[in-house]
Structure 1
Amino acid sequence: MGRLRRSRVHKAQRDVHRAMRTRARTKDLDQIQLIDLDPKNRAKLEAQPLDYEKPGLAQHYCVECAKYFETDFALQSHWKTKVHKRRCRALKEPAYTIEESERAAGLGRENKRPSLPTPSTDAAGDIAMQ
């Protein structure tokens, strides 16, 4: 009987890529800046009613990272991590506007060709170019 050997397929790498595609995503920075950091909404998020479907019964929530934690100790230790501090630093910068994103994609006003002059009629009824 021959020796059994493992097949040499890159199964682990494939599973990592699949996990990245199907990962539960958190809120984007612009959503957090415009909605969650508003003082009224922030107060609601920090004092949520009991919810049995969410981790920690929805009592331990980090507004900046949009994450729930099991215990208060886990939340306080999260506040000391690099991930949270990096996220807070990113939230201090102003959010991109739609105009900025269009300019970055080359759709802004600066890159458009000037429009052709439109013909108009003057007082005598002659067509003049502006």
Structure 2
Amino acid sequence: MTRIRRKRMHCNNKELHQRYKSKRRTKDLDQIQEDLKPENKQRLLSIPEDEDLPGLGQHYCVECSRYYIDDRSLGEHRRGREHKRRLRDLKDPAYTQREAEAAVGLVTDNGRTLSSAIAGPQSLLLLKQKNDAVAAAKAAGTEKAMDTDE
């Protein structure tokens, strides 16, 4: 009898991938833009020494939210592609909650947002019903126009 094939799950192990993905997770761009404000940036750059952080937490890139061992490695990072890409991405302003609601359709025509009492799935249902009613009215209007042409 031959030996049964071993499981080679290092490639398809989802739990392992999730663990490594969350380990390398950094701050999002809107969080970094908040850190780039002068009062927050000064606070981040002048933190006390921490033994748990690389380089005792004294060499920090605010734009990438990463700690480095020494000034040399921080300087190499600042000349690198990842840092330059992050700087280019940070030039665009972060999306606001109002823009997100407008993209979904939670903003009325006059610029007001729907009340918080109907926010969520109910508000989407109300918007769908409103859109269906408008579409039905337009369809009824076109049918009346077609009847008058005959």
TM-score (normalizing by structure 1): 0.71
Q: Does 1:26 align with 2:26?
A: yes
The amino acid across from 1:93 in the alignment is D
> Where does residue 74 of structure 1 map in the other structure?
73
Q: Give the aligned partner of residue 119 of structure 1.
A: none
What does the per-residue CA deviation read over 1:76-120, in whole Å, with 9 as the maximum and x for residues that have no partner? 111111111111111111111101111222323249549xxxxxx
| Higher deviation after alignment, 17-26 or 38-47 | 17-26
Cα deviation 1:20-51 (Å, max 9, x = unaligned): 554352211111112x1111221222222211
Partner of 1:86: 85
User: Shift of the alpha carbon at 1:19?
Assistant: 2.8
CA distance 1:50–1:21, change in 2 (3 Å): closer
Task: Give the whole-Å Cα distance in 1 for the aligned partners of 2:105 and 2:20.
Answer: 30
Q: How does 1:1-130 map to 2 (within 5 A)?
A: 2-4=1-3, 6-7=5-6, 9-14=8-13, 16-20=16-20, 22-34=22-34, 36-110=35-109, 112=127, 113=130
Structure 2's unaligned 5+ residue stretches are 110-123, 132-150
Bigger helix fraction: 2
Identity %: 43
DSSP 3-state at the match of 1:19 = helix
**Which of the pair is proportionally richer in strand?**
1
Structure 1 residue runs of 4 or more that deviate by more than 6 Å after TM superposition: none
Q: CA RMSD in A?
A: 2.5
Aligned residues: 112
Shift of residue 8, structure 1, vs aligned partner: 5.0
Superposition TM-score, scaled by structure 2 size: 0.63
